[in-house]
């Protein structure tokens, strides 16, 4: 067994957590090979150590160091910094087409690799960034919305979840009358508000990618767009029905408030399921869609997509590339790895080697229910032009802070896109 260690570092204020484990570049390999893996899945920290320890047990001649930049930190900027310093990892995270284009000089074409055949259709389509070649491995499917406490809803006689804006507004009124705070906003975390929240009006466009293309060529605008204007309904509803100071509540705080029963709903995804169950293993939960008008057919949907692709660095040595490819195949086929994905990560796999019935938890099962029913909207923030996401986080937080009105917010979001496109 290779030596294990966990080292905590601070890198531009980001938490980096190197985990050491081992592996082997195929049977009979005598030369040790070291590879570096880069991602931002904070909630995978402990299970990932167990996973890599098992890979080490089975493959004793490879050392895999794992660097994690997550939570409220900007993993993309950290990865850019590593690239500029000539220190790109061998296996690294991407979130979509924009990241693929940004780091394309490092991305190995995975077309023809055996594990590509395991990808479920929506995942394979998402991973084919240039229309023909598979650019990275889609590890999991995720979805988000307003996680709601079924126990609270039941106690107040709320038998049906709200499926449009008027219904959600009425639920908030019922909660307030009972002395229960409807929402913990999480708006102090840039990706909660600037990434996932802004995705809702973007993904609800009749043709989301066409709208993005229009933003890029100047034929579409955010100001004056009816869907973005209606987005103010849900934005202000949350602000009127959450904690007193939304810019002081980050994603960790909102999850703690929810798990403790202090609020009825939070805007989060099934990736928070393990953290919530750590506090209350028996908490019954589900998803309420993020709605902003009364078109129930359009509003009764969850954003579901592939949040995390793993790309192999084609500039690494051939031995390191071989290890990364072997690890990806192992991750999708090994029994321990598959159990880790469902039981420890609490995730929905983006590949078909895992029985859907083994997916654990109320939230993941709810996402599957929406997906099977075809009630989803896409994750399109992977197509946002680079630089927009963090700026939109700043702008939406400024609106929360009362620095300008909603019309100004939309105008400045447009200016941000025009500047960065």
For the chain, the first-to-last Cα distance in angstroms comes to 49
pLDDT tens digits, residue range 69-128? 876 678 899 999 999 999 999 999 998 888 999 999 999 999 999 999 999 887 888 899
Beta bridge partners of 263: 181
Tokens representing 184 are 């913990």
CA 162 to chain centroid: 24
Write the CB contacts of 324 (distance below 8 Å, at least 6 apart in sequence): 35, 90, 91, 312, 313, 316
Taking residue 360's Cβ as centre, other Cβ atoms within 10 Å add up to 18
Nearest to residue 137, comparing CAs of 169, 155, 114?
114
Measured in degrees and rounded to the nearest 5, phi and psi for residue 67 equal -110, 125
Check if the beta carbon of residue 37 is closer than 8 Å to that of residue 93: no
Q: What does the pLDDT read at residue 29?
A: 46
Nearest to 161 by CA among 283, 299, 347, 305: 299
> What are the tokens at 230?
């209606």
DSSP codes, 264-328 = EEEEEEGGGHHHHHHH-TT--EEEE----SS-HHHHS-EEEE---EEEEBTTS-HHHHHHHHHHH
Instruction: Determine contact, residues 50/87, Cβ cutoff 8 Å.
Output: no
DSSP 109: P
Neighbours of 138 (CB within 10 A): 26
- Predicted local distance difference test score (pLDDT) of residue 44: 78
Per DSSP, the residues of 342-364 read IIIS--EESBTTS-GGG--SHHH
Nearest to residue 233, comparing CAs of 300, 297, 165, 279? 165
Q: Around Cβ 1, how many Cβ atoms within 10 Å?
A: 9
Q: Is 120 left (phi over 0), alpha (psi -120 to 50) or beta?
A: beta
Q: What is the per-residue pLDDT for 371?
A: 86
**pLDDT tens, position by position, 266-304:** 999 998 998 999 999 999 999 999 999 999 999 999 999
Q: SS3 for 212?
A: helix
DSSP 4: P
Please, what are the domains in the chain? 9-139+306-353 (3.40.190.10), 143-305+385-420 (3.40.190.10)
CA distance linking residue 95 with residue 335, whole number of Å: 26
DSSP-derived letter for residue 36 is E
Please give the backbone phi and psi of residue 206, each rounded to the nearest 5 degrees, phi first.
-55, -35
pLDDT at 93: 92
Residues across the chain: 421
Q: For the chain, which residues score pLDDT lower than 70? A: 1-30, 71-72
Structure tokens at 348: 């929905």
Could you please report the per-residue DSSP string of 54-105? HHHHH-TTEEEEEEE--TTS-HHHHHHHHHHTT---SEEEE-SHHHHHHTGG
């Amino acid at each position: 067994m290779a030596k294990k260690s966990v080292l905590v570092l601070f890198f531009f204020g980001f938490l980096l957590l190197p985990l050491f484990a081992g592996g082997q570049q195929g049977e009979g390999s005598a030369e040790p090979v070291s590879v570096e893996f880069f991602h931002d899945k904070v909630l995978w920290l402990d299970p990932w150590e167990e996973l890599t320890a098992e890979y080490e047990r089975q493959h004793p001649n490879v050392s895999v160091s794992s660097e994690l930049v997550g939570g409220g930190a900007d993993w993309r900027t950290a990865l850019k910094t590593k690239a500029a310093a000539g220190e790109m990892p061998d296996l690294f995270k991407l979130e979509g087409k924009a990241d693929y284009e940004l780091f394309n000089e490092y991305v190995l074409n995975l077309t023809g690799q055996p594990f590509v055949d395991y990808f479920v259709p929506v995942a394979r389509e998402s991973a084919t960034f240039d229309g023909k070649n598979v650019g990275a491995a889609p590890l999991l499917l995720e979805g988000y919305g307003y996680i709601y406490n079924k126990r609270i809803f039941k106690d107040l006689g709320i038998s049906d979840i709200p499926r449009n804006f008027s219904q959600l507004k009425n639920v908030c009124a019922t909660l307030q009358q009972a002395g229960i705070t409807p929402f913990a906003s999480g708006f102090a975390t840039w990706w909660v508000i600037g990434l996932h929240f802004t995705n809702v009006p973007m993904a609800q466009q009749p043709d989301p990618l066409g709208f993005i293309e229009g933003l890029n060529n100047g034929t579409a605008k955010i100001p004056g767009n009816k869907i973005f204007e209606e987005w103010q309904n849900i934005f202000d509803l949350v602000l009127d029905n959450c904690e007193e100071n939304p810019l002081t509540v980050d994603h960790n705080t909102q999850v703690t408030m929810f798990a403790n029963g202090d609020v009825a709903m939070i805007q989060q995804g099934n990736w928070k399921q393990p953290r919530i169950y750590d506090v209350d293993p028996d908490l019954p939960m589900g998803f309420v869609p993020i709605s902003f008008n009364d078109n129930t057919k359009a509003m009764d949907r969850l954003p579901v997509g592939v949040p995390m692709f793993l790309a192999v660095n084609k500039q690494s040595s051939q031995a390191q590339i071989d290890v990364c490819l072997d690890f990806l195949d192992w991750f999708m086929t090994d029994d321990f790895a598959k159990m880790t994905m469902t039981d420890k990560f609490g995730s929905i796999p983006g590949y078909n080697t895992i029985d859907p019935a083994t997916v654990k938890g109320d939230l993941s099962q709810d996402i599957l229910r929406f997906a099977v029913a075809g009630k989803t909207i896409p994750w399109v923030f992977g197509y946002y032009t680079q630089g927009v996401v963090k700026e939109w986080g700043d702008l939406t937080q400024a609106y929360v802070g009362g620095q300008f009105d909603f019309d100004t917010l939309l105008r400045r979001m447009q200016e941000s896109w025009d500047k960065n496109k």
